[in-house]
Structure 1
Amino acid sequence: MALTHRPRTVRGYGTAAGTGTLAALILVGVCGSPWYASWAEAHTDPNSAGGWYLRLLAWPAWRVESADPAHGVLATDLRAILLLVFAAALLYLLPAGQVARVPGSASQFFSGWAAYTLAGAAATLLAALFTSGGSLLAAFETTGTGAGYGFFAGWIIGLASLGGRA
């Protein structure tokens, strides 16, 4: 059997990393939007588990326009941009290519979940270093928030990665 032959590859399915990246793009695009964030703030109870979770999904908030023209839109959206870049990179770099050979395996789920958790932590760390005046302590303190977001929202990316091909 040649090394390039991939058994059980089904046409029509995307790659595990590709479907995970698309899910991350949709999750950040919809739940990080200003419209969703304002809805979650106004219509959810932060003292209930459901309200807390719906507010957490709005964590990688992005804006259409910047409140501070000196920094521009890119500076305010850096966390969401870095989250998507790191999520895509980690979904491709983690062993998704190896675990995607068995469609529907638990390894694909955990690989996608882990990639999104790491992406949330790394994006928060770098965004905090670039936007908070470079304070290392502030960057370390906010990194836990990004890792927590990735942990609680990463199962969505893990589910999207299920069944993809290598």
Structure 2
Amino acid sequence: MALTNRSATVRGYGTAAGTGTLATLILVGVCGSPWYVDWAEGNTDPNSAGGWFLRLLAWPAWRLESTDPEQSLLATDARAVLLLVLAVTFLYLLPASQVARVQGSLSQFFSGWAAYVLAGGAATLLAALLTSGGTLLADFETTGTGATYGFFAGWIIGLASLGGRA
């Protein structure tokens, strides 16, 4: 009887990768929006920990229209698009079936967090290599910003992945 109750309970949860994906879409969609970016820049103190974190959440900024006629929208939004694609990919590629066997395990949290850190760093590097005309050293240096973003915002994705099933 305990086994049938458990399977009925587990059916009510989404997959660990699915809930992480939904959290990624919400995080990038809301915090990367032009409205949030403008609010964070105008209403937070960059010299305080809270202000720094709120500004960091705006890192994968995307725009509805390009103000620079030389850049296309795809070039401007490459970081956000690559972050979404890579985060979803890494959430599904990481050992989700192994991690999600024990519902609510701490390994689900770390798997979601790690996927987002890796996605943040890789998205920054790829966007810099594809869209910038700068040096390779400058592209490598900007990758640190994406990894920092993934590290400090990835716990949100880790929490969303917590409790999902395989």
TM-score of the alignment, normalized to the shorter chain, above 0.5:
yes
Q: Which amino acid aligns with 2:140?
A: F
Q: CA deviation at 1:135?
A: 2.8
Q: CA deviation at 1:134?
A: 5.9
Q: Contact 1:82–1:127 (CA<8 Å) still a contact in 2?
A: yes
Separation in structure 2 between the aligned mates of residue 104 and residue 160 of structure 1, nearest angstrom = 10
State the identity %: 82
Separation in structure 2 between the aligned mates of residue 145 and residue 70 of structure 1, nearest angstrom = 25
Count of residue pairs the alignment pairs up: 160
Separation in structure 2 between the aligned mates of residue 66 and residue 138 of structure 1, nearest angstrom = 23
1:48 aligns with 2:48: yes
1:155 aligns with 2:155: yes
Q: Match of 1:111?
A: 111
Map Cα deviations across residues 17-61 of structure 1 (whole Å, 9 max, x no partner).
010011001000000000000001111011110000000000000
**Structure having the larger proportion of residues in helix:** 2
Q: Provide structure 1 residue ranges, at least 5 long, that are not aligned to the other structure.
A: 1-6
Map Cα deviations across residues 101-137 of structure 1 (whole Å, 9 max, x no partner).
1011000000000000000000000000011126311
Map Cα deviations across residues 69-127 of structure 1 (whole Å, 9 max, x no partner).
33221110000000000000000001122110101100000000000000000000000
Q: Provide structure 2 residue ranges, at least 5 long, that are not aligned to the other structure.
A: none
Q: Contact 1:132–1:138 (CA<8 Å) still a contact in 2?
A: no
1:39 aligns with 2:39: yes
Q: Match of 1:126?
A: 126
Q: Contact 1:32–1:57 (CA<8 Å) still a contact in 2?
A: yes
